[in-house]
């Protein structure tokens, strides 16, 4: 069986909603036109009964018949009897009886009773439920001042005539329900697109395929199938790239190690020293490239990580190397969710940059109810405001302070940005008071 596309489905939903609303309005119009000939359409039923009772109390006995004939109409049949008609007060009509008593005033002991006689199929049975209002007849008995009784029967739309509710209000309520149902149907059709957007966002940060169930219209299913296949292909490409870079890095390290050994066997000279320095730069470049490849594919895990512990470890390592490093705010746990190795790499890269370009690194930790902030400051020339968006690009270096002679291959901050993004965090670059750069890594606070 052929399936409608999403455009056709949305169009059919809207058309169906409009048709349903028009049918409801047409039904309301027909009901109103049917009631247009009724004498009582300009006043609620309770007010009409009250007015008729007061009029019968005032006119002479000889003119009551004329009043009754004037008040009679379709669905409204009044008469006056000498004896009290048999009637059983309906429980659900007690508020109406109370209202009639208030409107008539005068004698508090006046006999007033109202009863529903049930649906046309059960006229002899009194109605005691609200759902019996539709199609039921109303029997009303009111005692007059002279001891006689007004005995009347009302038919037709009792709900409208008794409570004074317009039919248009009911049509409006039903129209609202139809619109709500249409919104639910539209949401059901667009839900696969929302799931697809979530999967694409997840894949963009973690590069981990998140297949989306194929459902909905055929064209939506086709898009979902294509995106699922694209996720798998991109993940395979990145995984293959990491494997290739890993293999190349391993082989290059072997050749670099051989070259270093051979350089050590050569007599010391200026050229030998320069060649050794080049080999060291090549080794650093290979290591950075491999870390960049791993960081671009590795996502954040769900482990509980205490940044205070990582900061103390990094601080102790740098001090042992003779670097100038300070640490504040690490006396209490600062817990986040993620990968300990990746977050340690973030801290090492930022501290290494601060030491390389500023000669000193000041590490600080702080937290709020929802976030943990790692701040690292240096004493270098700082990062110009117009360059702060570029320093995370691969192999980008600031001139003249941050070049190959003073730093690495230009991948340190790129790796940091990838890891932080995978952990759903953000990086803010600012100026340190007194000179230098301030880099703040803000991560969602974890449970622990």
Residue 124 has pLDDT above 50, yes or no: no
The per-residue pLDDT for 372 is: 93
Question: Can you tell me the distance from the alpha carbon of 310 to that of 347, in angstroms, rounded to the nearest whole number?
Answer: 8
User: How far apart, in Å, do the first and last CA atoms of the chain sit?
Assistant: 54
Question: Can you tell me the distance from the alpha carbon of 189 to that of 36, in angstroms, rounded to the nearest whole number?
Answer: 43
Residue 116 has pLDDT above 90, yes or no: no
> Cβ(363)–Cβ(314) under 8 Å?
yes
Residue 3 has pLDDT above 70, yes or no: no
The CA angle 222-223-229, to the nearest 5 degrees, is: 90
Residue 268, token pair as written in the block: 């010391």
The domain ranges of the chain are: 45-163, 298-444
> Cβ(217)–Cβ(9) under 8 Å?
yes
The per-residue pLDDT for 301 is: 64
The most confident of 117-126, 158-167, 393-402, by mean pLDDT: 393-402
Number of separate helices (H) and strands (E) present in the chain: 11, 11
Going by pLDDT thresholds of 50, 70 and 90, the confidence category of residue 204 is low
The most confident of 26-35, 324-333, 386-395, by mean pLDDT: 324-333
The most confident of 101-115, 198-212, 332-346, by mean pLDDT: 332-346
Which residue in this structure is represented by tokens 């200026």? 270
Please choose, from the candidates 100, 166, 93, the residue with its C-alpha nearest in 3D space to the C-alpha of residue 129: 93
Question: Percentage of the chain surpassing pLDDT 90?
Answer: 12
The per-residue pLDDT for range 13-27, each reduced to its tens digit, is 777 777 777 677 767
Which residue in this structure is represented by tokens 């006043």? 43
The per-residue pLDDT for range 245-285, each reduced to its tens digit, is 777 777 777 888 888 888 888 888 888 888 888 887 777 77
Q: Which residues are within 8 A (CB) of 337 and not within 5 positions of it... i.e. 6 or more apart?
A: 300, 301, 302, 303, 304, 305, 423, 444, 446, 447
Out of 16-20, 86-90, 205-209, 307-311, least confident range = 205-209
| CATH architecture group of domain 298-444 | 2-Layer Sandwich (3.30)
Residue 292 has pLDDT above 70, yes or no: no
Mean pLDDT for 370-380 is 91
The most confident of 169-178, 318-327, 413-422, by mean pLDDT: 318-327
Residue 122 has pLDDT above 50, yes or no: no
**Higher model confidence: residue 330 or residue 96?**
330
Average pLDDT value over all residues in the chain? 77
Element (H, E) at 420: helix 412-422
Q: How far is CA 177 from CA 17, 186, 384, 429, in A?
A: 10, 14, 58, 52
Mean pLDDT for 95-103 is 83
The per-residue pLDDT for 168 is: 52
Residue 405 has pLDDT above 90, yes or no: no
């Amino acid at each position: 069986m052929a399936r409608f596309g999403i455009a056709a489905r949305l169009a059919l939903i809207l058309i169906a909603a409009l048709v349903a609303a028009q049918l409801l309005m047409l039904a309301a119009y027909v009901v109103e036109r049917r009631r247009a000939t009724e004498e009582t359409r300009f006043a609620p039923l309770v007010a009409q009964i009250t007015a008729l009772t007061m009029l019968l109390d005032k006119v002479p006995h000889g003119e009551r018949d004329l009043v009754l004939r004037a008040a009679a109409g379709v669905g409204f049949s009044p008469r006056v009897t000498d004896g009290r008609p048999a009637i059983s007060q309906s429980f659900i009509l007690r508020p109406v009886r109370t209202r009639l008593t208030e409107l008539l005033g005068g004698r508090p002991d006046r006999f007033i009773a109202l009863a529903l006689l049930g649906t046309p199929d059960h006229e002899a049975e009194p109605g005691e439920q609200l759902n019996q209002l539709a199609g039921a007849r109303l029997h009303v008995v009111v005692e007059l001042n002279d001891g006689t009784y007004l005995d009347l029967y009302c038919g037709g739309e009792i709900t409208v005539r008794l409570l004074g509710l317009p039919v248009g209000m009911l049509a409006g309520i039903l129209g609202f329900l139809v619109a709500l149902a249409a919104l639910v149907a539209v949401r059901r059709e667009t839900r696969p697109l929302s799931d697809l957007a979530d999967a694409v966002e997840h894949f963009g940060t973690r590069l981990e395929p998140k297949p989306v169930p194929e459902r909905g219209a055929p064209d939506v299913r086709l898009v979902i199938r294509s995106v699922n296949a694209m996720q798998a292909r991109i993940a395979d490409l990145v995984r293959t790239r990491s494997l290739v870079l890993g293999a190349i890095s391993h082989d290059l390290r072997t050749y670099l190690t051989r070259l270093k050994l051979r350089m050590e066997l050569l007599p010391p000279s200026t050229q030998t020293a320069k060649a050794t320095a080049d080999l060291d730069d090549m080794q650093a470049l290979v290591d950075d490239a491999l870390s960049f490849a791993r960081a671009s594919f590795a996502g954040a895990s769900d482990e509980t990580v205490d940044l205070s512990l990582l900061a103390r470890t990094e601080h102790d390592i740098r001090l042992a190397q003779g670097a100038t490093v300070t640490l504040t705010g690490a006396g209490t746990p600062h817990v986040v969710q993620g990968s300990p190795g990746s977050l340690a790499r973030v801290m090492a890269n930022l501290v290494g940059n601060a030491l390389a370009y500023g000669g000193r690194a000041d590490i600080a930790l702080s937290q709020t109810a929802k976030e943990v902030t790692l701040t690292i400051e240096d004493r270098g020339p700082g990062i110009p405001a117009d360059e702060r968006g570029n320093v995370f690009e691969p192999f980008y270096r600031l001139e003249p302070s941050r070049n190959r002679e003073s730093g690495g291959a230009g991948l340190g901050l790129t790796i940091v940005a990838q890891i932080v993004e995978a952990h759903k965090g953000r990086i803010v670059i600012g100026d340190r008071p007194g000179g230098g750069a301030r880099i703040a890594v803000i991560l969602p606070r974890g449970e622990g």
